[in-house]
């Protein structure tokens, strides 16, 4: 180790730099699309919890327990090696050859599988955060909107959910950051995200310290930027009168 020669140009120039920047772009795209999918699925799961038909609530609860209590790596490998081959052959070939929709190229089958896996996994946690936020809304709010003639879904959408989102936003931000931190698992199905490219750089020139240190800094910068963006986009926090909230 004492004879190790540090050379940051081995990472930040030439082909390694191209790989690194490509990995950053793929990681950011994977994170954003997975967060969007997870948010949509979380709202659907939350809505199912409030459907009067009990089996819908049981389905949502079972779905959440399944994805919360099984490893993400197992889920990702299942969707890629287990479920993907079950698709019709024509669809599989289209995905393998680079799908195109309305003249625009779509992500590869590996990327789509990673987005699907991360989205499903994260939705289970986001749905529970939202449900906790709904429970934090005073029951009097429900009584008020129902007295105004709102049914369950309009009341949830227009009155309860905005307040629940304000309560649940801090833990939801943590879950969105977890999507970023879980994204390196996508290299297990050959998605060329940041960690995949970092491993490639290390194998290319054996400058592992510089490569992994650079990747760590890039993940940190992306995480800080995402955290600040989410805090700015999120709802204003709700504070109860007379309750101290710390410094």
Q: d(Cα 197, Cα 16) in Å, to the nearest integer?
A: 8
What are 217-228's pLDDT values in tens digits? 999 999 999 999
Segment 176-185 mean pLDDT = 97
The DSSP call for residue 6 is -
The verdict on residue 162 lying in a domain is: yes
- The first and second tokens of residue 189, run together, are 């199905």
The verdict on residue 216 lying in a domain is: no
The verdict on residue 65 lying in a domain is: yes
**Which structural domain, as residue segments, surrounds residue 33?**
28-209+222-233
- Where does residue 241 fall: left (phi above 0), alpha (psi -120 to 50 degrees), or beta otherwise? beta
Give the CATH number of the domain where residue 157 resides.
1.10.3720.10
Sequence-separated (6 or more) residues with CB below 8 Å from residue 17: 11
The verdict on residue 74 lying in a domain is: yes
- The first and second tokens of residue 151, run together, are 């049914």
Give me the percent of the chain exceeding a pLDDT of 70. 87
What are 108-147's pLDDT values in tens digits? 889 999 999 999 999 999 999 999 988 888 777 766 777 7
Look at residue 236 and tell me whether its pLDDT is greater than 50: yes
Closest CA to 36 of 155, 106, 119: 119
Number of structural domains, the chain?
1
pLDDT score of 102: 44
pLDDT score of 235: 82
The verdict on residue 148 lying in a domain is: yes
Q: Which phi and psi (to 5°) does residue 65 adopt?
A: -65, -40
How many C-beta atoms lie closer than 10 Å to residue 131's C-beta? 20
Segment 30-55 mean pLDDT = 92
The verdict on residue 9 lying in a domain is: no
pLDDT score of 135: 85
The verdict on residue 13 lying in a domain is: no
Q: Which long-range contacts (CB under 8 A, 24 or more apart) does 165-169 make?
A: 165/130, 165/133, 165/234, 165/235, 166/133, 166/235, 166/236, 166/237, 166/238, 167/132, 167/133, 167/136, 167/137, 167/238, 168/129, 168/130, 168/132, 168/133, 168/136, 169/133, 169/234, 169/235, 169/237
Q: d(Cα 180, Cα 30) in Å, to the nearest integer?
A: 8
Q: d(Cα 25, Cα 195) in Å, to the nearest integer?
A: 12
pTM, two decimals, is: 0.86
Maximum distance among all alpha carbons in the chain? 77
- The first and second tokens of residue 181, run together, are 């931190």
The verdict on residue 242 lying in a domain is: no
Average per-residue pLDDT in the chain? Answer: 86
């Amino acid at each position: 180790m004492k004879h190790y020669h540090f050379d940051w140009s081995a990472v930040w120039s030439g082909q390694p730099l191209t790989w690194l920047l490509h990995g950053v772009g793929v990681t950011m795209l994977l994170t954003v699309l997975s967060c969007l999918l997870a948010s949509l699925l979380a709202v659907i799961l939350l809505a199912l919890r409030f459907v009067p038909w009990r089996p819908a609530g049981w389905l949502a609860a079972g779905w959440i327990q399944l994805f919360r209590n099984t490893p993400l790596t197992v889920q990702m490998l299942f969707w890629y090696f287990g479920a993907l081959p079950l698709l019709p052959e024509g669809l599989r070939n289209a995905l393998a050859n680079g799908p195109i929709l309305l003249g625009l190229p779509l992500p590869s089958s590996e990327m789509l599988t990673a987005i699907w896996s991360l989205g499903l996994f994260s939705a289970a946690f986001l749905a529970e955060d939202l449900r906790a936020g709904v429970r934090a809304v005073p029951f009097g709010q429900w009584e008020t909107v129902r007295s105004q003639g709102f049914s369950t879904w309009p009341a949830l959408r227009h009155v309860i959910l905005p307040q629940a989102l304000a309560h649940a936003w801090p833990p939801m931000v943590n879950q969105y950051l977890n999507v970023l931190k879980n994204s390196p698992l996508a290299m297990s199905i050959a998605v060329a995200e940041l960690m995949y490219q970092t491993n490639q750089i290390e194998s290319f020139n054996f400058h592992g310290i510089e490569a992994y240190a650079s990747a760590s800094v890039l993940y940190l910068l992306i995480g800080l930027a995402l955290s600040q963006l989410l805090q700015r986009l999120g709802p204003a926090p709700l504070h109860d009168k007379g309750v101290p909230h710390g410094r």
